[in-house]
């Protein structure tokens, strides 16, 4: 919503905003643009009546401001609808969708277009290291993180059906958002609706190894597809349009191929097969938008990542401390696998906060043990909203593993487990009670 506010201000609108808590860095970004921010949802914030109220999907019936909008019959819409109708309609739009890697891939794609001199606009669901802001209007193509979460309390379709992209990336697809969708098939239906909006002269960049995405494709596709995936050494001709070959096990050196021919070699600071796949998808989409293949690859050598995506915060007494957003077992497993390949036999500790609605309800707890198997010690921080016993996970692990309700107790235990040349990863899609920073400061 902060990014949408910034784009609306750039379009010439007078913009104000209300949120439950207003805090940096988004608050300072918006205030610098002349956007007035107010804390809480007091109906007085809507005086005098605005021409349009854009309502985020975190708000529902019963919210004081929402009830005022409805009772006063003020014009309102969702953020995705406003973007689609008033901002994206006249732009070449590139959308990045998938269960995992949306934010990173969106940032990669925007950076490739920027490096190619195309002055892209973008809306990224995180803070990208290559850009000072998370949203920018730009004058060229527009890159948008295309979320499958529902749009608003009055519109239960996925956000991305409002964007009508000409080029779309489908990275992967797994069951998530159990508070919104009953099963994987319901999410696949939303992805099918996205495919229905992509024009016949557009391009669909899709992970050919993902069975759930292939099932979406089988429901109907009216757009030429570009299939990408890992290079497999065989005598048969590959059906992939874009392939990636890992030159190092930690994926810090990659070889990118298009139609079986080498495009270029990429040496970069990112790790893990998942990030290699993100890079491949971003290159394929950028080339579809007019970037020369070799320039797309070269641009990623300078990619600086996204905050809270295996962000190295610093070191304390020989312990490297990382902050990571992973909260789905697949993302956890892929992230830890990438780090293990990078650090070898060094000690790897994991602190996990199950915070998403899906994780708190216990929908993925059976997969958590295997996802954490590469760690040398595991701490799980739970709260009153977690509806399952964390010992179901810790008992599966063959390494020191404990659950905690106290952040201080968890950090004290982690310090005892750590030694010289250790790597400690904090994983949460929430604030985690500032646990990474507290460990770094020795609190």
**Tens digit of each residue's pLDDT, the chain (443 residues):** 999 999 999 999 999 999 987 777 778 888 889 999 999 999 999 999 999 999 999 999 999 999 999 999 999 999 999 999 999 988 999 999 998 889 999 999 999 999 999 999 999 988 888 998 889 999 999 999 999 999 999 999 999 999 999 999 999 998 887 778 889 999 999 999 999 999 999 999 999 999 999 999 999 999 999 999 998 776 556 789 999 999 998 899 999 999 999 999 999 988 888 899 999 999 999 999 999 999 999 999 999 988 778 888 999 888 999 998 877 888 888 889 888 988 999 999 999 998 877 788 777 788 888 889 999 999 999 888 888 888 888 888 999 999 899 999 999 999 999 988 899 999 998 888 889 999 999 88
DSSP 356-392: SHHHHTTTTHHHHHHHTTT-SEEEEE--TT--S-THH
Q: Is residue 305 part of a domain?
A: no
The verdict on 328 and 427 lying in the same domain is: yes
The verdict on 346 and 423 lying in the same domain is: yes
Q: Is residue 256 part of a domain?
A: yes
Residue with structure tokens 């990275």?
A: 171
The verdict on 20 and 94 lying in the same domain is: no
Q: In which domain, by residue range, is 29 found? A: 2-74
The domain that holds 46 is classified in CATH as 3.40.50.720
Q: Is residue 174 part of a domain?
A: yes
Q: Is residue 240 part of a domain?
A: yes
Torsion (CA) 71, 76, 78, 81 in degrees, nearest 10: 150
The verdict on 70 and 102 lying in the same domain is: no
Number of domains observed in the structure of the chain: 3
The verdict on 346 and 367 lying in the same domain is: yes
Residue 260: how many CB atoms within 10 A of its CB?
11
Helices (H) and strands (E) in the chain, counts: 15, 22
Cis peptide before 25 (omega within 30 of 0): yes
The domain that holds 284 is classified in CATH as 3.40.1190.10
Q: Is residue 170 part of a domain?
A: yes
Please state the length of the chain. 443
The verdict on 30 and 126 lying in the same domain is: no
The verdict on 182 and 97 lying in the same domain is: yes
């Amino acid at each position: 919503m902060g990014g949408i506010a910034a784009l609306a201000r750039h379009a010439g609108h007078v913009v104000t905003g209300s949120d439950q808590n207003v805090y940096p860095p988004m608050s300072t970004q918006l205030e610098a643009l002349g956007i007035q921010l107010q804390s809480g949802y007091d109906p007085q914030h809507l005086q005098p009546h605005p021409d349009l109220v854009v309502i985020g999907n975190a708000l529902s019936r019963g919210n004081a401001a929402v009830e005022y909008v409805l009772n006063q019959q003020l014009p309102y819409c969702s953020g995705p609808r406003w973007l689609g109708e008033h901002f994206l309609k006249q732009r070449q739009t590139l959308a990045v969708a998938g269960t995992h890697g949306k934010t990173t891939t969106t940032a990669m794609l925007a950076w490739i277009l920027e490096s190619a001199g195309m002055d892209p606009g973008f809306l990224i669901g995180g803070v990208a290291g290559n850009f000072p802001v998370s949203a920018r209007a730009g004058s060229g193509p527009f890159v948008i993180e295309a979320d499958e979460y529902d749009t608003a309390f009055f519109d239960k379709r996925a956000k991305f059906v409002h964007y009508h992209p000409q080029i779309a990336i489908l990275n992967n697809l797994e069951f998530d958002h159990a508070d919104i969708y009953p099963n994987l098939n319901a999410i696949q239906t939303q992805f099918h609706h996205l495919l229905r909006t992509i024009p016949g002269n557009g391009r669909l960049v899709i992970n050919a190894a993902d069975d759930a995405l292939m099932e979406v494709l089988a429901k109907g596709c009216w757009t030429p597809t570009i299939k990408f995936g890992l290079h497999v050494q065989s005598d048969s001709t590959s059906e992939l349009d874009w392939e990636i070959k890992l030159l190092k096990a930690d994926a810090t050196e990659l070889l990118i191929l298009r139609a079986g021919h080498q495009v270029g070699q990429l040496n970069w600071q990112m790790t893990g097969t998942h990030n290699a796949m993100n890079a491949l998808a971003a290159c394929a989409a950028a080339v579809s938008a007019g970037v020369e293949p070799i320039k797309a690859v070269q641009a990623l050598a300078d990619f600086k990542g996204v905050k809270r995506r295996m962000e190295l915060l610093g070191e304390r007494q020989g312990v490297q401390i990382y902050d990571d957003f992973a909260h789905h077992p697949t993302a956890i497993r892929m992230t830890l696998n990438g780090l293990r390949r990078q650090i070898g036999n060094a000690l790897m500790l994991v602190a996990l906060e199950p915070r998403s609605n899906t994780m708190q309800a216990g929908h993925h707890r059976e997969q958590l043990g295997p996802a954490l198997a590469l760690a040398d010690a595991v701490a799980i921080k739970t709260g009153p909203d977690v509806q399952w016993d964390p010992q179901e996970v810790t008992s599966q692990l063959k390494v020191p593993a404990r659950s905690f309700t106290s952040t201080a107790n968890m950090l004290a235990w982690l310090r005892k487990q750590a030694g010289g040349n250790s790597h400690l990863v904090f994983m949460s899609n929430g604030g985690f009670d500032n646990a990474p920073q507290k460990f770094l400061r020795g609190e």
